[in-house]
């Protein structure tokens, strides 16, 4: 059969050469050593996979069953195994009862895509896990990763059950799938994104957290002022397991009776209340009607909530305080960080955290004595003796009526604000709806925004006939009763007269009356017959105490620290800075509010205690340094929450404001500046001796002496002609300055002509 042509001759020559070299089938022996011993089964697939330590194994693809399942020959041991691509699934060929196969949409195209690239090719496979006798793995070709390519081209979808074992980054698979979805490629041709109907501003926004609902939802305040309930995507809060775990005769209180619900709520409350968070809406869960086993649900906005770069849902799951919801494979309504949630849950299960712990379930025995007159009577003396007690505001019924949780006493009480008369809200009475008084809703909203779910301090004074406690509530050092009066949302009640807060309430009410807003909108000031005051002659007492002058203001007031408490302040500042260094505040997580205490970073790079006086914007916050008396405008990024261990309860504010007694500050700006400059040069940051001469509405008036010479600072200002006086000793010094024509008096006694152009009046 030999043809006489060049090609045939060349083949014959090659055959002769192979015979001479005894290669292949022409070698000595029967050739048994060339037979491959194929292994079709693996006794212990898990051990086999683990033994390769996820290192690439050389292989040849022998068969492609569908786009994501192949038959591979592993080298050099000739194991013939079925490999399923980790993390994805392609459309398959469904086998019918008669033995025929029906392809799902794009099944043939996906199979061809894989065949054309891998069949009979040398590849490397990373063995990642096993499923029965099948191996889960990733196939690497010199031209790329077939798993990611299938997703990117729209031939496959991610699957949750195997994506966790994918070793090259689950986020890459999600990104590739998202790429195909956005372009509606192949299997995604009819895809509609869960948030497709939302505007961009409704998909991503920053909002302030006002309330935590159980353990999987929060109420936020948008920049527009509207409130919105946000559910954390893809997580389920703790719940009761089984039907017989709850006493049928006892009313269920989910927060306290469901294991770990209280811990979950407290975790969210401490992390989020009053803070600004980033919200990314993942999907809108449509409203569902009630069934025999499931109650009705209204439409829910589900989102990923982050603060300081931390995913709150992931943090909650990692502590074992929530579980991750499992979805059908075609359910796209899930968290955009679903894989991270699954990984966090796996860690929590491994470490036995929270719900996954083998320890005894924590029990919260919380006594609710709201409206229980008998229990309230027994409890009243205890709360009165306790003075200020820590509490958490659980609910706000109205502007002055709240429900509090006392953690130390583990009880719930109804608390009424003392000293004020707040507008009464609307009430549902039998057969009748009583309308609320004007501004009742505004008062309720004000109280909610200020104290709901915040940590506060309460002073209980008494109780009413219904078993409700009456007293004072303090939030960040401010009295809530005074704040309500100050904002014209309440009036002072006559019962406040016997309180130590009466003067503060009257002062706040007077200021609110002058503004004629809200409850004082129709206020008409009554004429008062003036009674000339009869001055009392008192003998002047001189008790000088050492002080350290820290700040001089533009109106010639000054702030001092008491020398006796100086070491306490130094120790507190040192401890506070050490605490901040070990637990630095998260930049941007603090939302300043007017009147609250905080920590502020001064220009020297150190942290000091301060009080927020005004918030223009996050970039412009006016603060007052309570221990030094100076003021500054800072961005909120240089502010943080004041740790409770260093609050004004531990050490009161050390800077006290005073004014010079017996002298009159010049009205002319240049003259006043000269006086202030002189005082700054003489006494700022020095130790002096201070004596209180008399009190006034703004601050005490004092005389100040130099610590070394005992010279009177105010008298020195008069002698230099920088200020005017009001008493004899000072008048003599003034006459001396006039005679010498010093400063103010360089043109003589200008007051004789009522010369207003000089800026002074008698």
Specify the pairing of strand 620-625 against strand 607-617: antiparallel
Give tens-digit pLDDT for 652-670.
Answer: 999 999 999 888 888 888 8
Q: Which two tokens stand for residue 660?
A: 């010079």
| Parallel/antiparallel/unpaired status of strands 227-232 and 300-307 | parallel
Same domain, 717 and 568: yes
Return the DSSP state at 755: -
Structure token pair of residue 470: 């009456």
Residue 430's CB is within 10 A of a number of other CB atoms, namely: 4
pLDDT of residue 488: 93
Locate 77 and state its tokens.
């041991």
SS3 209: strand
Spatial distance between the Cα atoms of 751 and 759, rounded to a whole number of angstroms: 10
The answer as to whether 225 is a domain residue is yes
Most distant CA atoms of the chain, gap in Å: 146
> If you average pLDDT over residues 180-189, what whole number do you get?
93
pLDDT at 249 over 60: no
Average pLDDT over residues 328-346: 88
> Is 719 among the domain residues?
yes
Per-residue pLDDT at 532: 52
6 within domain boundaries:
no
> What CATH number corresponds to the domain at position 89?
2.40.50.90
In a domain, 380, yes or no: yes
Tens of pLDDT, residues 301-327:
999 999 999 999 999 999 999 999 998
Most confident of 312-321, 528-537, 585-594: 312-321
399 plus 327 within the same structural domain: no
- Given pLDDT bands bounded at 50, 70 and 90, which one contains residue 735? confident
The values of phi and psi at residue 93, to 5°, are: -100, 110
Q: Are 626 and 675 in contact (CB under 8 A)?
A: no
Domain boundary among 416, 446, 475: 475
Per-residue model confidence (pLDDT) at position 379: 86
Choose the most confident range, by mean pLDDT, from 135-144, 493-502, 693-702.
Answer: 135-144
Omega within 30 of 0 (cis) for the link into 542: no
Alpha-carbon dihedral angle through residues 272, 278, 284, 289, given to the nearest 10 degrees: 10
Residue 103 lies in a domain: yes
Residue ranges of alpha helices (H) inside 234-279 are: 254-257, 261-272
Same domain, 320 and 435: no
Q: What is the rounded average pLDDT of the residues 251-278?
A: 90
Q: How far is CA 396 from CA 195, 254, 274, 276, 580, in A?
A: 34, 19, 16, 22, 33
Mean pLDDT of the 54-82 span: 94
Question: pLDDT band for position 540 (50/70/90)?
Answer: low
Residue 762: both structure tokens together: 């008698």
Give me the long-range contacts of 33-42 (CB less than 8 A, separation at least 24).
36/78, 37/78, 38/73, 38/78, 38/80, 39/77, 39/78, 39/79, 39/80, 40/80, 41/133, 42/79, 42/81, 42/133
pLDDT band for position 33 (cuts 50, 70, 90): low
The domain tally of the chain equals 4
Q: Hunting for tokens 């090259």 — which residue is that?
A: 168
Q: Which tokens in the block code for residue 600?
A: 């502020």
For residue 9, being part of any structural domain is answered with no
Write the CB contacts of 500 (distance below 8 Å, at least 6 apart in sequence).
none
Q: Do 390 and 329 share a domain, yes or no?
A: no
Q: What pLDDT is attached to residue 527?
A: 65
How does pLDDT run across 402-433, given as a tens digit for each residue?
999 999 988 999 999 999 999 988 777 666 66
Residues sharing a CB contact under 8 Å with residue 377, sequence separation 6 or more, in sequence order: 463, 467
Give the mean model confidence (pLDDT) for residues 115-132. 92
What predicted TM-score, i.e. pTM, was given to this entire model?
0.60
User: How does pLDDT run across 355-372, given as a tens digit for each residue?
Assistant: 999 888 888 888 888 878
Q: Tell me: do 149 and 276 sit in the same domain.
A: no
Specify whether 227 is located in the same domain as 351.
yes
| 338/393 same-domain check | no
Residues 561 and 550: beta-carbon distance below 8 Å = yes
pLDDT digits (tens, 9 = 90+) for 131-151: 877 899 999 988 889 999 999
So what's the pLDDT on residue 147?
A: 95
Q: Which domain holds residue 205?
A: 200-238+255-356
In a domain, 715, yes or no: yes
State whether 568 and 716 are in the same domain. Answer: yes
Q: Quick one: tokens of 98? A: 């008669």
- Using CA atoms, how far apart are residues 535 and 357, in angstroms rounded to an integer? 75
Residue 718 and residue 598 share a domain: yes
Residues 384 and 452 in one domain: yes
170 with 227, same domain?
no
User: Would you state the pLDDT for residue 760?
Assistant: 46
- Which pLDDT value is given to residue 360? 86
Looking at residues 371-381, what average pLDDT do you find?
Answer: 85
User: Is 712 inside any structural domain?
Assistant: yes
Return the SS3 of 147: helix
71 and 127 together in one domain: yes
So what's the pLDDT on residue 244? 45
Mean pLDDT score across all residues of the chain: 87
Dist. CA 118–CA 111, nearest whole Å: 10
CA distances from residue 604 to 586, 600, 601, 629 in whole angstroms, order as listed? 20, 11, 8, 16
Say which residue, 151 or 436, is predicted with more confidence.
151
Residue with tokens 């372009």: 183
Q: What is the pLDDT of residue 214?
A: 79
Q: Among 153, 188, 223, give the residue marking a domain's end.
A: 188
pLDDT at 613: 92
**Average pLDDT, integer, range 239-265:** 74
């Amino acid at each position: 059969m030999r043809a006489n042509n060049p090609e045939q001759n060349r083949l014959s020559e090659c055959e002769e050469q192979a015979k001479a070299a005894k290669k292949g089938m022409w070698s000595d022996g029967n050739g048994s050593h060339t037979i491959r011993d194929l292994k079709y089964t693996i006794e212990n697939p898990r051990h086999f996979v683990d033994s390769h330590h996820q290192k690439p194994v050389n292989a040849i693809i022998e068969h492609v069953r569908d786009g994501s399942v192949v038959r591979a020959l592993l080298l050099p041991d000739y194991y013939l195994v079925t490999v399923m691509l980790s993390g994805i699934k392609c459309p398959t060929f469904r086998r019918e009862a008669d033995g025929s196969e029906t392809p799902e949409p794009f099944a043939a195209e996906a199979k061809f895509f894989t065949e054309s690239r891998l069949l009979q090719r040398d590849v490397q496979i990373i063995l990642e896990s096993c499923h029965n006798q099948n191996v889960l793995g990733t196939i690497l070709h010199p031209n790329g990763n077939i798993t990611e390519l299938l997703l990117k081209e729209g031939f496959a979808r991610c699957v949750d059950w195997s994506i966790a074992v994918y070793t090259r980054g689950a986020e890459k698979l999600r990104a590739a799938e998202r790429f195909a979805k956005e372009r509606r490629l192949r299997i995604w041709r009819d895809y509609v994104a869960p948030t497709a109907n939302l505007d961009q501003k409704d998909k991503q926004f920053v909002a302030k957290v006002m309330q935590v609902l159980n353990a999987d939802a929060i109420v936020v305040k948008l920049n527009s002022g509207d409130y919105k309930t946000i559910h954390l995507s893809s997580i389920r809060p703790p719940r009761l397991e089984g039907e017989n775990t709850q006493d049928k005769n006892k009313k269920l209180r989910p927060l306290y009776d469901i294991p770990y619900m209280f811990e979950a709520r407290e975790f969210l409350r401490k992390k989020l209340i009053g803070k600004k968070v980033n919200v990314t809406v993942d999907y809108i869960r449509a409203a569902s009607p009630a069934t025999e086993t499931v109650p009705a649900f209204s439409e829910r906005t589900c989102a990923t909530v982050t603060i300081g770069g931390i995913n709150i849902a992931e943090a909650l799951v990692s502590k074992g305080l929530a579980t991750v919801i499992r979805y059908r494979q075609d359910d796209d309504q899930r968290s955009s960080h679903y894989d991270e949630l699954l990984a966090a849950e796996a860690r929590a299960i491994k470490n036995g955290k929270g719900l996954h712990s083998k320890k005894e379930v924590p029990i919260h025995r919380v006594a609710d004595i709201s409206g229980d007159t008998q229990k309230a009577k027994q409890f009243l003396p205890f709360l009165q003796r306790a003075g200020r007690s820590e509490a958490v505001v659980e609910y706000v019924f109205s502007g002055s009526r709240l429900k509090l949780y006392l953690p130390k006493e583990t009880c719930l009480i109804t608390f009424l604000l003392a000293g004020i008369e707040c507008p009464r809200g609307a009430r549902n009475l039998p057969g009748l709806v009583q309308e609320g008084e004007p501004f009742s809703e505004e008062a309720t909203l004000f109280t909610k925004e200020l104290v709901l779910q915040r940590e506060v301090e309460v002073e209980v004074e008494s109780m009413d006939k219904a078993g409700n406690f009456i007293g004072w509530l303090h939030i960040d050092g401010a009295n809530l009763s005074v704040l309500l009066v100050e904002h014209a949302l309440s009036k002072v009640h006559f019962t406040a007269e016997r309180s130590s807060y009466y003067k503060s309430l009257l002062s706040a009410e007077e200021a609110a009356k002058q503004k004629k807003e809200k409850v004082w909108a129709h206020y008409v000031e009554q004429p008062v017959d003036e009674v000339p005051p009869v001055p009392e002659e008192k003998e002047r007492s001189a008790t000088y105490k050492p002080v350290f002058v820290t700040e001089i203001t533009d109106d010639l007031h000054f702030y001092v620290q008491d020398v006796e408490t100086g070491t306490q302040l130094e120790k507190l500042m040192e401890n506070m800075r050490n605490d901040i260094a070990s637990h630095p505040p998260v930049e941007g997580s603090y939302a300043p509010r007017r009147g609250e205490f905080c920590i502020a970073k001064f220009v020297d790079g150190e942290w000091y205690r301060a009080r927020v006086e005004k918030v223009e914007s996050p970039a412009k916050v006016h603060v007052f340094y309570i221990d030094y008396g100076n003021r500054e405008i800072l961005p909120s990024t240089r502010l943080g929450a004041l740790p409770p261990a260093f609050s004004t309860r531990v050490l009161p504010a050390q800077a006290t404001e005073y004014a010079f007694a017996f002298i009159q500050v010049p009205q002319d700006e240049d003259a006043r500046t000269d006086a202030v400059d002189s005082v700054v040069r003489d006494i700022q940051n020095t130790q002096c001796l201070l004596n209180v001469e008399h009190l006034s509405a703004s601050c005490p008036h004092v005389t100040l002496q130099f610590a070394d010479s005992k010279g009177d600072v105010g008298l020195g200002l008069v002698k230099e002609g920088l200020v005017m006086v009001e008493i004899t000793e000072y008048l003599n010094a003034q006459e001396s300055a006039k005679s010498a024509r010093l400063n103010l008096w360089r043109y003589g006694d200008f007051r004789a002509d009522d010369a207003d152009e000089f800026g002074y009046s008698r």
